[in-house]
Structure 1
Amino acid sequence: LSANAQATLLLTSDFSRAAASEYKPLSNSEWGKFALWLKHQRISPAELLVPQPQEKLTGWSDPRISQERILGLLARGHSLALAVDKWQRAGLWILTRGDADYPVRLKNRLRTDAPPVLFGCGNKALL
């Protein structure tokens, strides 16, 4: 997975019901809003995967998507690694909105509400 895909998964996905985080992953619309802000700041999601990501979040302010929540979600790297390994062993593929083979029609129709992550199995080209 690319660093952008890893950051997107950290911010938008649940990895395990048993290890529920105190921080709820961003919804599709929350991710759309945050991703748009990142784009306007010329920051890629991958740039948040640094030891001090709060420096990149200067200027972000939203009562529903606090910086604390974003930082808490980004800190779940170990859980992400375990989940991705499990998904890949099960034969699942993962597409994020930033991937070249993400369905263009889905992006065009839903815009910022398009799912940030798609999981599936089988032939991705059929999307």
Structure 2
Amino acid sequence: MNDNADILLIEDSQSQALCFRLMLERAGYSVEVAPDGASGWRRACSMAPRMILLDIDLPSLDGFQVLGRLKRDRRTADIPVVMLTHRDHVASVQRALDLGANDYLFKDDAPYELCATVAQALEMMRS
């Protein structure tokens, strides 16, 4: 485990987690991966990453539940969260933003937009 990781990626698909992690590591970020909502929540609280990439469809706790917990906890409330999903429903996007997500990225767009979205979220935290 990397307690000094820039990014906590909470993603249950091993292949997608590997793809996203490799893309981010090539861009110079350190990445910790959690395979489900409950372990992701625990890792976020213990490691205080610079940002979190959070899948919506997760076992144990879904991404909305994790996001709600993150934003209610003083230890994690200020960590930027970008939601990752295959869902393209406006209601899902709105729910994530209402719960405090900083951005929303469709997984199909991730190969083209992931690093730029991460850089933008981290830059907003510096401002």
What TM-score range do you get, normalising by the shorter chain?
A: under 0.3
When normalised by structure 2's length, the TM-score is 0.27
Q: Per residue, is there more strand in 1 or in 2?
A: 2
When normalised by structure 1's length, the TM-score is 0.27
Larger RCO (CA within 8 A; separation ≥ 6): 1
